[in-house]
C-alpha cells in the first residue's frame, strides 16, 4: 500500500518499490506504535479529531502493540510506519485514515529513532555495568598479583594485574556516562514538525512530548526532521566503547600467546583449529577487535551521510538506521562475549623483569635531596654496568650501589622488591557507583 496514490495515474514499479523500501526499520515497530498512541491521544484531547475516533484508534494501536511479536509485515509495506497504518486500517476500518492527521513520516521517523535509541542506551549501559562488575571482581582477586606495566611495549614499572584491569573499568564508566549524556540530549520530541514546517492544525506538541516522557518539543521544525546529530553521537558512543573493548581484546590475544602465557581462555570461550590439533584460540577477542573496525566505519558513514544534505528531510536519512543499528547491535554482542571470555579464563603471571625497579631505586636518592635528573643518570649507569657484566638490576648488591654512587644506603636495596599500590580505594569507588 502506498500512502500517496492520489497524485499518480500509474503504478510504482517493483524496482522502485524494492529499492526505496526499508525493512531494517522493523525493529521500530513498538516505539512507532507508542508514538502514534501519544499523537492520536493528543488529537482527541485537542478536538482535532472526535474523542470516539481517538479511542478507536488507540484501541486498534494497542491491539497491534500487544501482538507486536507476531506482527506480519507485507511485501508492499514501504516501511514500518506504512505497515502500522495498513494494519490499523484492517482492524478499525476507515477511521485509520485519521492517524496521520498533523503528522508526516519525517517527524514520525525522527521520533521513533529517538525513542528506540533512548531504550538502547539504557540496555547498553546495563551491559556496561555488568562488564564493570566483571572487571572489578577479577581485579579484586588479583589485587596482589604483580605484573609489569608496559610503555612502548617494553616493561616499565610494576603494578597489580587488578590495577591493569581497573583501567578498563574506568573507561567503561565513562562509556556509561557518554550513553547517558547522549540519551538525555536526544530525549526531545520532533512531533508536530510535520514534513518540515509544522501544520495549520492546533497540535499540542507539549502534550505529546510529555506523554512520551520527553523533555519537550524540538523548537525548530526543520531541525526536528532534518538533524541526525543524535544518531552520530550515539554511534560515537558505540565506537568509543568498541575501541575500549578492542584494546583489551588486543591485550588478551597477546596474553593468550605462548610468548606471554598470561591467560588461558576456558573451554566454553575457546575455539579450536580445523588443521592444528593443539590449538586453543582466543577468537572472541580477535573478533571483537575485528568488529570494532565496522563500528568505526559507522561513524564515518553517519557523518558523511549528513555533510552535504540541504535542509530539511531527505530520503538519504533513511540510511541512518542501518549504521546505528549495526553499531549498537555489534557493541551489545561484543559486550556479552567479552564478559563471558573474562569470566571463564584462567590467568597466570611470570615475574616482571627486575629492571622495573629502576625508578623506585632512583627515587631513594630523590628522598635524600638528589635532583631527579641526576638520580636517573646514576641508576642508568648502574643498569648499564650490570648489563655489561651479564647481570640484572635485581642481582645488584650494596657494593654495586656504592660503586656507582656513595649516596646509596643499605636500605635502598629494598627498593628492588616489587610492590604494587593497593587498589581498594578504586574498587570501593567503582562499587559505590555501580555495585548492587
Backbone φ, ψ for residue 64 (5° rounding): -65, -40
Shortest Å distance, C-beta 123 to ligand ARG: 22
| CA atoms of 311 and 221, how far apart (whole Å) | 11
Active-site hit among 152, 274, 278, 388: 152
Largest pairwise CA distance in the chain = 101
The residue assigned the cell 562509556 is 175
Active-site hit among 76, 184, 257, 273: 273
Would you tell me which residues interact with ligand ARG (CB under 6 A)? 22, 25, 79, 105-106, 109, 313, 315, 317-318
Among residues 28 and 401, whose Cβ is nearest to ligand ARG? Answer: 28
Shortest Å distance, C-beta 63 to ligand ARG: 23
Among residues 41 and 318, whose Cβ is nearest to ligand ARG? Answer: 318
The residue assigned the cell 502493540 is 65
| CA atoms of 396 and 362, how far apart (whole Å) | 14
* DSSP annotation string for 152-181: TTEEEEEEEHHHHHHHHHHHHHHHHHHHHH
- The answer to whether 83 and 73 are in contact (CB under 8 A) is yes
Among residues 195 and 359, whose Cβ is nearest to ligand ARG? Answer: 195
| CA atoms of 216 and 206, how far apart (whole Å) | 6
Shortest Å distance, C-beta 183 to ligand ARG: 21
- The answer to whether 183 and 120 are in contact (CB under 8 A) is no
Among residues 165 and 317, whose Cβ is nearest to ligand ARG? Answer: 317
Shortest Å distance, C-beta 78 to ligand ARG: 7
Is residue 39 flagged as an active site residue?
Answer: no
Is residue 278 flagged as an active site residue?
Answer: no
Among residues 83 and 423, whose Cβ is nearest to ligand ARG? Answer: 83
Dihedral of the alpha carbons of 6, 11, 12, 15, in degrees to the nearest 10: 170
Shortest Å distance, C-beta 22 to ligand ARG: 5
Report the relative pairing of strands 263-265 and 154-160 from DSSP bridges.
unpaired
CA angle 354, 357, 360 (to 5 degrees): 170
Shortest Å distance, C-beta 325 to ligand ARG: 12
Among residues 105 and 118, whose Cβ is nearest to ligand ARG? Answer: 105
Provide the annotated active-site residues.
152, 273
Amino acid at each position: 500500500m502506498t500512502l500517496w496514490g492520489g497524485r499518480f495515474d500509474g503504478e510504482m514499479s517493483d524496482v522502485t518499490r524494492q529499492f526505496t523500501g526499508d525493512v531494517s526499520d522493523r525493529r521500530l515497530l513498538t516505539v512507532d506504535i507508542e508514538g502514534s498512541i501519544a499523537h492520536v491521544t493528543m488529537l482527541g484531547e485537542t478536538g482535532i479529531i472526535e474523542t470516539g475516533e481517538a479511542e478507536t484508534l488507540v484501541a486498534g494501536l494497542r491491539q497491534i502493540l500487544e501482538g507486536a511479536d507476531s506482527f506480519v509485515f507485507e511485501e508492499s509495506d514501504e516501511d514500518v510506519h506504512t505497515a502500522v497504518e495498513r494494519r490499523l486500517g484492517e482492524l478499525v476500518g476507515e477511521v485509520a485514515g485519521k492517524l496521520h492527521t498533523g503528522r508526516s513520516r519525517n517527524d514520525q521517523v525522527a521520533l521513533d529513532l529517538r525513542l528506540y535509541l533512548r531504550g538502547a542506551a539504557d540496555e547498553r549501559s546495563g551491559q556496561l555495568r555488568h562488564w564493570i562488575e566483571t572487571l572489578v571482581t577479577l581485579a579484586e582477586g588479583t589485587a596482589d598479583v604483580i605484573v609489569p606495566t608496559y610503555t612502548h611495549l617494553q616493561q616499565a614499572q610494576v603494578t597489580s594485574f587488578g590495577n591493569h584491569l581497573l583501567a578498563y573499568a574506568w573507561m567503561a564508566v565513562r562509556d556509561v556516562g557518554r550513553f547517558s549524556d547522549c540519551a538525555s540530549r536526544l530525549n526531545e520530541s520532533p512531533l508536530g514538525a510535520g514534513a518540515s514546517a509544522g501544520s495549520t492544525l492546533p497540535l499540542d506538541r507539549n502534550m505529546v512530548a510529555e506523554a512520551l516522557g520527553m523533555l519537550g518539543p524540538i523548537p525548530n521544525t526543520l531541525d526536528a526532521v532534518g538533524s541526525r546529530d543524535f544518531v552520530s553521537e550515539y554511534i560515537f558512543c558505540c565506537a568509543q566503547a568498541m575501541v575500549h573493548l578492542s584494546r583489551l581484546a588486543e591485550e588478551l590475544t597477546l596474553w593468550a600467546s605462548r610468548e606471554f602465557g598470561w591467560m588461558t581462555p576456558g573451554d566454553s570461550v575457546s575455539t579450536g583449529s580445523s588443521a592444528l590439533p593443539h590449538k586453543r584460540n582466543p577468537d572472541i577477542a580477535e573478533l571483537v577487535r575485528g568488529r570494532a573496525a565496522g563500528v568505526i566505519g559507522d561513524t564515518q558513514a553517519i557523518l558523511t551521510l549528513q555533510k552535504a544534505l540541504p535542509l530539511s528531510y531527505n530520503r538519504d536519512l533513511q540510511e541512518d538506521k542501518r549504521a546505528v543499528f549495526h553499531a549498537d547491535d555489534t557493541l551489545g554482542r561484543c559486550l556479552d562475549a567479552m564478559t563471558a571470555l573474562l569470566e571463564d579464563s584462567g590467568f597466570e603471571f611470570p615475574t616482571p623483569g627486575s629492571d622495573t625497579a629502576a625508578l623506585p631505586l632512583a627515587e631513594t636518592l630523590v628522598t635524600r635531596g638528589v635532583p631527579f635528573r641526576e638520580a636517573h643518570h646514576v641508576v642508568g649507569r648502574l643498569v648499564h654496568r650490570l648489563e655489561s657484566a651479564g647481570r640484572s638490576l635485581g642481582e645488584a648488591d650494596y657494593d654495586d650501589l656504592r660503586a656507582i654512587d656513595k649516596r646509596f644506603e643499605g636500605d635502598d636495596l629494598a627498593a628492588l622488591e616489587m610492590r604494587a599500590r593497593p587498589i581498594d580505594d578504586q574498587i570501593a569507588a567503582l562499587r559505590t557507583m555501580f555495585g548492587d
